[in-house]
Structure 1
Amino acid sequence: MTRPQHFCFILVPEFSHLAFSCAVEPLRIANWVSGEELYRWSFASEDGAQAVCSNGSVTLVHGGLADLPKCDQIFVLSGIHMRDHVSRPLLAALRRERARVTAIGALCSGAWLLAEAGFLNGMQAAIHWEYHDAFMEAFPDVNLVRSVFVADEKHMTASGGTATADLMLHLIERDHGQDLSIAVADQMVYNAVRNATADQRVSLQSRNGMRNAHLAKAIQIMADRINDPISPAVIAEQIGISTRQLERLFGKYLNASPKKYFMELRLDRARNLLLQTESSVTDVAFACGFESPGHFSRVYRAAFGVTPMQQRSRLD
């Protein structure tokens, strides 16, 4: 019998309980289905006593950050407000474990904490889609991907929720074979297991009941050009249709013109940056393709009923 792998989960305050369950339960089920102790796990928190997740549940832990057990894999698991929980003890513990050559990964918003520690520069990483805009602004040297998880980098990352189960099933398959991974998924009644290349959010086609490749391509071009917008005519030319055809597609499926939809994408990105980063209003304006802060402020107020400065002041 091989030595069981020991996973240590560092639970950061307000961590995601869904991601936590999706991380631990596949390991437990793998032991049960196989009849062997393939995995062990332990929990740690900064105070060494307990951790409170975002839904208020309290989880008792095995120890603190200063005395993490010797293990095969550490996963940092956080959730909402992760930037409020970037502490010196946490960063020190992560750097100490890296010096011990312990494998370190992150779940849900945990990639933010690894990036703060400087672990992810030059690497691919996954984080919950809600934090994409802020993450890209804060950590431009990290190659953020939209995949549900990244397992082939030095530091594994999963985007949270059921993506954590996808990563764990991937690891079970890697270490103990596909049959066991499938058996664990069956016990979880999980019949939609995704590989690492799957996108986090449901595809545009699924969300809108569409199968129109031209529309999907047009929206992808818009998403890629938020900081440097181009006209609907140029987008239409790039995907090989007329501007009028593009207008009809957006009207039919999205009840909006291409210009209006593009502006909504840019404003949504701006709102995320205002709420999730410390970037100045001017920097947010330019990052979202507005020629001046004044123009940005007028358009933003028309869309959301408050100016960018008022939006940010609501956080105080």
Structure 2
Amino acid sequence: MAGTAQNIGFMLTEQFSMIAFTAAIEPLRLANRVTGKTLYQWQLHSADGVTAEASNGVQVKVDRAFKDASAMDAVVVCSGVEVKRIDHRALITVLRRLTRSGAAAGAVCTGAYVLAKAGLLEGYRSTIHWENRPGMQVDFPDLEIGEDLFEIDRDRFTCAGGVAAADMMLSLIKRDHGDPVSKAITDQLIHHRIRDAGERQRIDLRTRLGVSHPKLLRVVSLMEQTIDHPLTMSQFAKSVGLSNRQLERLFWKHLGHPPSRHYLKLRLDHACQLLRHTAIPVLEVAVACGFNSASYFSQSYTEFFGHSPSVERKGAAVAA
């Protein structure tokens, strides 16, 4: 595509992620700047064709409404945490029309959910923000939704959101215009390097917890892998060659709470994400998080978060 300006349409849903949007569009601006050529052109679209409000409250003026979008080389859906509460029917109609006309389809942050709703990810690999992946996998069980930072699969490109949008766009620019151009843009962004698609979304466990004790890290990692079928504290202790008492002391020393509390928090945090981002029944959420009793799950959830699972679900359903 070298030598030909690519026309890209950014579709901004209400409460879109500002950081993901700017991380996606700035590499395009800089591609034009560092080459002295118009490699990319873009237009912004929203539901009303006037403005779109980001999740941080900033109003962005757009060029036209979704329905007025004309032919383009690629369309990028920018969404945010409220993706499931918004009626995307008008946007979906436009996305289908544009892709039928040959436009590539991309998404940043939770925009991948909109592409999935439009049926545009069938047969493609995709990714989404780690917080939204469990819910999207439940809603679209037949799709291949990975945990990568971003995914470029033929004429579909999706990313986890945040600054991962920059890595994805830089990779697309590198593909279309070469390594020197992408490196010059990376230097301008003070980004140091373009991260690979397969790099993890979340920071590693050692950094997240702020500890380096190998046995504690192995136990916590095992906890995260066994949320749906919980192990006993004795099993965790045995897995790293410790007694129950030694494991207890290890958690208190480095994390300030017992291992049972840490495990419960992991399971309830996962339950919270399922309640917020899926429509599966509360009882199924309980089972998916290792609770055999709905009443015990509700009691534990209420004690931990200060409100019941049903209240969490109702709050997530407001304006859906």
How far apart, CA to CA, are the structure 1 residues paired with 2:265 and 2:4? 54
Deviation, 1:145, is 2.6
1:160 deviation in Å?
1.3
Contact persistence 1:285–1:291 (CA under 8 A): yes
The corresponding residue for 1:140 is 141
Q: Conserved in 2, the CA contact under 8 Å of 1:166 and 1:193?
A: yes
Matches of 1:246 and 1:119, distance apart in 2: 48
Give per-residue Cα distances to partners, 1:133-175, cap 9 Å, x unaligned. 3223322223333322112354211111111111111112222
Give yes or no for contact 1:15–1:80 (8 Å, CA) kept in 2: yes
SS at match of 1:135: helix
Q: Cα distance 1:142–1:131, how it changes in 2: closer, same or farther (>3 A)?
A: same
What corresponds to 1:241 in structure 2? 241
Aligned equivalent of 1:56? 57
Pairwise CA distance, 1:209: 3.1
Mapping of 1:1-316 within 5 angstroms? 2-121=3-122, 123-152=124-153, 154-191=155-192, 193-235=194-236, 241-244=241-244, 246-314=247-315
In 2, Cα distance between the equivalents of 1:203 and 1:43? 35
Q: Report if the CA contact (8 A) 2:72-2:98 is conserved.
A: no
- Please state how far the C-alpha of 1:11 moved relative to its aligned partner: 1.1
Is the CA contact 2:67–2:91 (under 8 Å) kept in the aligned structure 1? no
The SS at the match of 1:104 is strand
CA contact (8 A) 1:124 1:153 kept: no
Q: Is the 8 A contact 2:124 2:153 kept in 1?
A: no
For 2:208 and 2:298, the matched residues in 1 are separated by: 31
Between the aligned partners of 2:144 and 2:237, the Cα distance in structure 1 is 29
Q: 1:218 to 1:33 in 2, by over 3 A?
A: same
Which secondary structure state, in structure 2, belongs to the residue aligned with residue 76 of structure 1? Answer: strand
Instruction: Compute the RMSD of aligned alpha carbons.
Output: 2.4
- Range with greater deviation from structure 2 (71-80 or 189-198): 189-198
TM-score by length of 1: 0.89
Give the match's secondary structure for 2:224: helix
How many angstroms apart in 1 are the aligned matches of 2:146 and 2:136?
11
Letter in 2 for 1:48: G
For 1:154 and 1:261, how far apart are their aligned partners in 2?
42
What amino acid is the match of 2:150?
A: F
Identity of counterpart residues, as a percentage?
38
Which aligned runs of 4 or more in structure 1 are off by greater than 6 angstroms? none
Displacement of 1:193: 3.7
Deviation at 1:127, TM superposition (A): 1.7
Q: Residue 218 and residue 73 in structure 1: after superposition, are their counterparts in 2 closer, same or farther (change >3 A)?
A: farther
| 8 Å Cα contact 1:86-1:113 kept in structure 2 | no
TM-score by length of 2: 0.88
Unaligned runs of 5+ in 1: none
Count residues with an aligned counterpart. Answer: 315
SS in 2 for 1:31: helix
- What is the deviation of 1:87? 2.3
Deviations 1:252-277 (A, max 9, x none): 43233333211111111112222333
**C-alpha deviation, 1:104, in angstroms:** 0.4
Greater displacement, 219-228 / 28-37: 219-228
CA distance in 1 between partners of 2:134 and 2:196 (Å): 23
Deviations 1:211-252 (A, max 9, x none): 444443433332232122222444455x55345465454344
Q: Which amino acid aligns with 2:109?
A: C
Structure 2 unmatched ranges of 5 or more:
none
When residues 73 and 246 of structure 1 are mapped into structure 2, their CA distance, relative to the original with a 3 A threshold, is farther
Residues 183-228 of structure 1: per-residue CA shift (max 9 Å, x gap) = 1111112225422122222111122333444443433332232122
Residues 1:32 and 1:310: Cα distance change in structure 2 (over 3 Å): closer
Residues 222 and 26 of structure 1, relative CA distance in 2, 3 Å threshold? same
